[in-house]
Amino acid sequence: MASRESGAVLAIDIGGTKFAAGLVGADGEIIVARRVATPPGGDAGTLWTALTGLVDTVVREGNDRPVIGVGVGCGGPMTWPDGEVSPLNMPGWRGFPLRERLAGRFPGVPVRVHNDAVCVAVAEHWRGAGRGSADMLGMVVSTGVGGGLVLGGRLIDGGTGNAGHIGHVVVDPDGPACECGGRGCLEAVARGPALATWALSHGWLSGRAQPSGPAAAAPGGEGAQRPEAPGEDLLRSGLPGEEVLRSRVPGEDVLRSRVPGEDVLRSGVPGEDVLRSGVPGEDVLRSGVPGEDVLRSGVPGEDVLRSGVPGEDVEGAGVVSSRPEGDRGSEVLYVEAERASGRRLAEDAAAGDPVARAAFARAGRALGIAIASATSLCDLGLVTVGGGLSQAGPLLFDPLEHALREHARLAFAARVRVVPAALGQDAGLIGASALILAADHYWTAPDPR
């Protein structure tokens, strides 16, 4: 078997937006790395083919340096350590035996799969902002909110490998529904798409910095709706923003928001609800899939795939066909990073738009509350925060600090420091490699047979 010196670890980072693979040397330095867009809507075989093509390219570009192990970070949920993965944002893989399939391609070396956010936390602890910290939580705030927990210098896995799920710590029991089935989880408040949704529902118009706040954005005040038209029954749910105008025309029910310009045209076809902004070129096709809302520009070839996360909407331009030919939703979506909404939210916040700023403040506050709770529970010294949203800087970190100091009052908890992550988009690969290269700290399970 090749020595650690001559060989390299194959590191893989699998997400709903992109696949990354790289060869990582013994010191954690990336020798070669490649990224490809995740095939949208790909079935199990399509996803696997894309991954193996990427892996083959990387191994070839590494001059066929011997692979001494394979470390993988993948979106959850998954069985651990068996590595059967069912990433929420990749419906093509449900119970996909990722570890076993990779082990078949790389026989005789360890193949280890862990949660992608855990890998980022491991990377920050091993080679990033958390170096030297004994007790640390590494967080990723992106299309989801995830984390990994290091106590006593070792990764804590918990009973099923799921320790560190800070995204599902409850910060507001009366808050928004979470995709996990719960309510008021940190992720439901602070994930990128939740910021964009909240901002849109409070009068933010993407890319048009507002001169005033939500109140002025709703000149008629609450209830300033158009009246029912003939053929439209009004169904009142009793919940704000949940009145429905039932048209007698199928596919034309309207969910009335109390915010002007935010009525939703319910088509009844999944993935085809439309958020009516009232501004030409700014209707939003709601796909129901996180990170796949579409800003309809009305100009062919200029629709935008919105992730809602600053800087993570889309990597490069591409053409995405989301539905079978002939389906009404089969419009080709031309993806254009410059117009993506998450980045615009950050830009508008930086430009002083009060709704955009409030969206970041709300997320920062939720993060501070969750971090205070985690700190009290685990006696943390350090928390690293990475992911697209952390790029917003003080817009996010200032309200985070404020809420944290408000809630972390005991002396041991008050010592906690929160810092931006240091490793950027390579963190996932570096952390995945550490599952092999620094296994004494970061891999506690027996290797599956």
Residues lying near Zn ion in the complex (CB under 5 A) are found at 168, 178, 180, 182, 185
CB of 115 to Zn ion, least distance (A): 15
Calpha distance 365→397 (Å, rounded): 9
Please, which residue, 188 or 345, has the CB nearer to Zn ion? 188
CB of 329 to Zn ion, least distance (A): 28
Calpha distance 324→48 (Å, rounded): 21
CB of 381 to Zn ion, least distance (A): 26
Q: Which residues of 312-351 are buried (b: 16+ CB within 10 A; e: fewer)?
A: bbbeeeeebebeeeeeebebebbbbbebbbbbbbbbbbbe
Question: What 8-state DSSP symbol labels residue 226?
Answer: P
CB of 369 to Zn ion, least distance (A): 15
Calpha distance 308→302 (Å, rounded): 17
Copy the structure tokens of residue 269. 């076809």
Calpha distance 106→63 (Å, rounded): 16
Please, which residue, 182 or 241, has the CB nearer to Zn ion? 182
Please, which residue, 187 or 303, has the CB nearer to Zn ion? 187
CB of 194 to Zn ion, least distance (A): 11
Please, which residue, 370 or 434, has the CB nearer to Zn ion? 370
Please, which residue, 92 or 182, has the CB nearer to Zn ion? 182
CB of 167 to Zn ion, least distance (A): 7
Calpha distance 157→192 (Å, rounded): 26
Residues 50, 39: contact at Cβ < 8 Å? yes
CB of 185 to Zn ion, least distance (A): 3
Please, which residue, 16 or 22, has the CB nearer to Zn ion? 16
Please, which residue, 45 or 173, has the CB nearer to Zn ion? 173
Q: What DSSP element (H or E) covers 126?
A: helix 116-127
Calpha distance 256→276 (Å, rounded): 10
| H-helix segments, 185-269 | 186-190, 192-201, 214-217
Full strand arrangement of the beta sheet holding 154-156:
154-156, 145-151, 136-141, 382-386, 417-420
